[in-house]
């Protein structure tokens, strides 16, 4: 690796670095969105389970 870069080389490296940072940021945002979706789905799942338990309880009470 050279210790001294030409101006064009330096600009190209800076551009690659910037593009890499943008891609990393984009991937982080996708990961956060996926985690948020997962939490939302878990919330819906537990809400549905609670509703099912309540309905089951009602049905059992009505049968007795």
Helix (H/G/I), strand (E/B), else coil: 64: coil
Helix (H/G/I), strand (E/B), else coil: 35: helix
Instruction: Give the number of other Cβ atoms within 10 Å of residue 32's Cβ.
Output: 10
Q: What is the pLDDT of residues 9-26, one digit of tens each?
A: 999 999 999 999 999 999
Hey, which bits of the chain come out as E strands? Answer: none
To 10 degrees, the CA torsion angle through 23, 25, 31, 37?
-120
Q: What is the pLDDT of residue 5?
A: 67
Query: If pLDDT is split at 50, 70 and 90, which confidence band does 50 have?
Result: very high
């Amino acid at each position: 690796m050279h210790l001294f870069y030409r101006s064009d080389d330096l600009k190209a490296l800076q551009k690659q670095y910037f593009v890499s940072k943008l891609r990393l940021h984009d991937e982080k945002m996708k990961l956060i969105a996926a985690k948020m979706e997962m939490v939302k789905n878990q919330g819906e799942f537990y809400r549905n389970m609670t509703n099912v338990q309540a309905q089951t309880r009602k049905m059992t009470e009505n049968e007795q």
